[in-house]
Amino acid sequence: MSKDLALVTGGNGHLANNLIRLLVSKNQNVRTTVRDINNTAPFKGLDCEVVQANLLNKATLRKACKDVTHIYAVAANFSMWAKDPKTEIYDNNLKGTQNLFDSAKACGVKNIVYVSSVAALDFNTLPANVDNGYNTDRRNWYYNSKNDSDKLALALGETYNIRTVLILPSAMIGSQAHKLSYSNNLVYQILKGEIPVDTNVTLNWVDVKDVAFGAYQAMLKGKDQERYILSNPTHTTLQDSVNIAAKLYPELQLKTPKKVPKCLLYTVAGLMEFSSKLTGKEPLLQRHYLDMFYGLKQDYDIRKSKEELDFNPKPSKQALEEALRYLKTDWKVQ
């Protein structure tokens, strides 16, 4: 047994929980953080230490980092909408990053694999890659938070002399979920026939277990101050995604979503945004979301991850089929 102690933040999240399972299978000593210490179901049968901590509470983070040799910084606020997005999404993600690195520095942690996102890539040239810099579109507070916390993590790593390797996953889907992630929920909506129209927004599906392996490899082999995309090379359209589900489960009689003009989608989005102000619930469609993603092909250059991390994800169609099977057969509404 290694004397090293790995800390995985946000252990009940989709990626973090799969990563913990991988690390435990490699006979690593693992500690993980949760905000609710009574939420024990995700760790049943797992040989890992579970502690209470919150990224916005530096005292709890300091305790969690004690005796830790390396950190997988997975926990973050992944929300595309909030009543006060600047505070609830942007400020929280930046403050959480600062607090984690401050705590790591205080406790002598030497290595951090920081989970960023493909949201922090420049899509002006496709396929997007890490050499083209950061996303120049500043219309979404979640995207802004991933861009700026990505930069902050690299800057703090350099300042604090902590080896810092960044991974940038795309839409993670698949098994071993204890709550529906944003991406798994979209797959679940496809299964339930809740995709009536094609918004001309593409997805880049990747199996969460492949991302967990990429994170593990990043800790072992990733270069300090480098960023690695963990995705598939090419996108899948919403129509194709529904058609894959329809072919897999013909008895569901899923219908291919119809394409509608952007102007009509824009009108509907405006009405949904107005309604959300009254209900306080996230609108299913937002105008700035259409502005950012309508027609955008989410294709990525993953050669660097393949060469330096031995990252070789299963094809997106296979990842989607396996996620569909899992969510139809094994997922229980929590």
The CATH code of domain 5-179+206-233+299-313 reads: 3.40.50.720
Whether omega before 127 lies within 30 degrees of 0, making that bond cis, reads: yes
**Per-residue pLDDT reduced to its tens digit, 275-331:** 888 888 888 888 888 888 888 899 999 999 999 999 999 999 999 999 999 999 998
Burial of 239 (0-12, 13-18, 19+ CB in 10 A): middle
Measured CA to CA, the distance from residue 110 to residue 179 in angstroms comes to 32
- Which of 57-66, 118-127, 141-150, 279-288 shows the lowest per-residue confidence on average (mean pLDDT)? 279-288
**Per-residue pLDDT reduced to its tens digit, 194-204:** 988 899 989 99
pLDDT at 18 over 90: yes
Measured CA to CA, the distance from residue 69 to residue 212 in angstroms comes to 19
Res. 333 pLDDT band, cuts 50 70 90: low
Nearest to 53 by CA among 20, 100, 119: 100
- Mean confidence (pLDDT) of the chain: 93
DSSP 8-state code for residue 177: -
